[in-house]
Amino acid sequence: MELILDGIFKAFQLLFSLNPEVLGITLLSLEVSGAATFISVLIGISSGMVVALNHFPGKRFLVSVVNTGMGLPPVVVGLFVMIFLWRNGPFGFLEILYTPTAMIFAQAVIATPIVMGITIAAIQNLPPKLRLQILSLGATRIQMVWFLIREARLPLLAAIMAGFGGVISEVGASIMVGGNIKGYSRVLTTATVMESGMGNFDMAIALGIILLLLCFLVNYFLTVIQQRERPR
């Protein structure tokens, strides 16, 4: 118990003293996972809309694959991304293994099925006649898609939060493709693993608390948007 209190104390000490290393690690976590979430939102919501609004053979199968992908184990993603990005691998010429860019890529792979899966469910959950109504009022197809996105605002924001939560907290892929390099690709989760491996449990707890605070702030911001009265 004492250790946990020490950790909490240390977390606030590190935050208020603006410890440059911890700040750097925290910012990098936000940058990497934010960028990965952004990419996954672009791909996930657009492809999710396409799947949800169209009927085609194999749709059920595809949706099952996407739903399975919502539980993709980060270490498995990390392993495959690492093998692809190896110098002598198919994408070795990019030379991005052990960089934050590689981490963004791996995390985007993890988050995209989460965002896409929830998008499909959210759009399919809208009343089926809504589309026809919007179109009959003279809206173009693009206007209809925007309207549907707005109508499904609550679950879509939940999709973004789930995607972000999935990647900010993962450690397996980040450590494999980022390498936990000090001052360069070390993020909150990989630093926590390292510090606990080194026996610095107070530091590990402090980093864990900072991670929770960061998650809370981001989710608070998204929730404020989500719960706002709909502008009319």
- Angle, vertex CA 203, rays to CA 105 and CA 213, nearest 5: 60
One residue of 95, 130, 135, 212 binding other proteins per CB under 8 A: 95
**Least Å distance between CB 154 and other proteins?**
10
Could you give the 3-state DSSP secondary structure of residue 199? coil
Residue 175 CB, nearest distance to other proteins (Å)? Answer: 10
- Residue closer to other proteins (CB basis): 63 or 207: 207
Q: Which helix (H) or strand (E) holds 81?
A: helix 74-85
State the minimum distance, in angstroms, from the CB of residue 43 to other proteins: 13
Closest CA to 47 of 145, 116, 131, 125: 116
Query: What are the Cα distances from residue 7, in Å, to 115, 123, 190, 191, 202?
Result: 34, 43, 17, 14, 4
Q: Give CA 28 to chain center in angstroms.
A: 14
- Name which of 79, 153, 76, 154 is nearest 113 in CA terms: 76
Minimal distance, residue 38 CB to other proteins, in Å: 4
Nearest to 168 by CA among 49, 58, 32: 32
Binding of other proteins by 192 (CB under 8 A): no
Work out how close the CB of 62 gets to other proteins at its nearest, in angstroms, rounded to a whole number.
25
160, 187, 207, 210: residue in contact with other proteins (rule CB under 8 A): 160
- Alpha carbons 208 and 217: distance in angstroms, whole number: 14
Number of residues that bind other proteins (CB under 8 A): 46
- Residue 196 in contact with other proteins, rule: CB under 8 A: yes
Do 177 and 98 form a contact (C-beta atoms < 8 A)? yes
Closest-CA residue to 115 (of 41, 222, 217, 65): 41
In whole angstroms, the minimum distance from the beta carbon of 109 to other proteins comes to: 16
Q: Is 159 in the site for other proteins (CB under 8 A)?
A: no
Give the residue among 177, 202, 203 at the shortest CA–CA distance from 191: 203
Binding residues for other proteins restricted to 162-181, rule: CB under 8 A:
179-181
Comparison of 12 and 86: residue with beta carbon closer to other proteins: 86
The residues in 105-134 that bind other proteins, with binding defined as CB under 8 A, are none
Give yes or no for residue 216 binding other proteins (CB under 8 A). Answer: no
Residues that bind other proteins (CB under 8 A): 30-32, 34-35, 37-39, 41, 86-88, 92, 95-101, 104, 143, 146-147, 149-150, 153, 157, 160, 179-182, 184, 194, 196-199, 221-222, 225-226, 228, 231-232
